Structure 1
């Protein structure tokens, strides 16, 4: 485990884990993502610690973490400790559900870290799914099916679609018979997913995102895939070229000076 207040934090609104959760990733990244997914909140997940727990070296783990960041599964963040002091803590937020840059930026600007509810209640997304069977018997879902589809429905509501509109969209234009209501509903939830709403006008300033690779702080829009431009290879400093030009200018100036003090030369 990391020091108290540091380490892994789970991002909100993740879909439940299934055998195909990380199937879109390369084998190494999928293996490491599955390991991180099983870690409890607060666990250390720096490259050095993970390399001790996994069959990969530190450099391979660092590369995999960068790739997971670009794939939308994690972001490094520094934020106030929340204990009334001025101390800042450094955390890595992990989401088994891949998120876009826009989603991470919206979440970063929302404010306080989501806290777990000690008294779980049915969510509006679950209620909307449970109501489908009343709106049209062809889409009657079991309690387990509602729970499985809840994250997808919750994403609709998070994008500004009210429950009544969600129900109307899912039940519109149904075929005469639906052999698998759960599969049909899942397909519609995915295929008709509305676009993400516009970003909030200004950041809250409570959290600062860092480059996953070099940990340089920056605004979310400057850290595409969680990486700064240099680590993405977009801006590569040409220090060697700058130094060479500077040294050549110095040599030319020295030659002109020497020419001026030679016998017969102009001072």
Structure 2
């Protein structure tokens, strides 16, 4: 994660930090030199006193940076006869063909160095002017809208009876209120009973027995039941039974056989008595019906 740093930072190009021909010592030394203020000492003695690489490795790293155009060291003689060294540091490397033509990023700092035999004087570094940091994100930027939630279809409405019957509605409300006897989690508020009662009344209107409705609503409950009202409404809607078909009249069966009281002959008649022949000959009964 990269945090915004409003102070104490240095802009260094990837062409240095990811250079394929420079050693890691030269890359680190180049980044260190670019982070120093103008006039800081970057001679071998000063740098070897800061880091553990030693004079030989630091001297080699400085030569690498100079060969690839990241620094330029110029020795000049002053009018007083002393030798001075100027070190120019470039945040963009200068190739050999334009090293002399390229202007330095900032004016060089001149440090006198004794000719013989005094050790070389510290080499000052010239850094490019600080680049203005990017402004923080504007507070007027419109934030991105939150992702839209997936649309859920509305639940189907509860069933209702076709004809309002007060007695059936009271039975439905009593059935819902007694569900807590089967499971304590089915303790319903009065407003929930009023909401679900029409659905139970629709079941009763379709011929469902109260015990069957109660078993359907109160059995096989999930172990982590959190919304009992929603579960009851779902069962009342999804498991609604169809209406009972209209009752049909039973078809008449065959006329039973009877034994004639006069001749003991079998004949078909709805009731016991005389057969047709005995009724025709019997004066007490008169003429028999066909």
Which structure has the higher relative contact order (CA within 8 Å, separation 6+)? 1
Instruction: Please report the TM-score for the alignment, with normalisation by the length of structure 1.
Output: 0.32
Greater helix proportion: 1
Larger CA Rg, structure 1 vs 2: 2
Instruction: Please report the TM-score for the alignment, with normalisation by the length of structure 2.
Output: 0.29
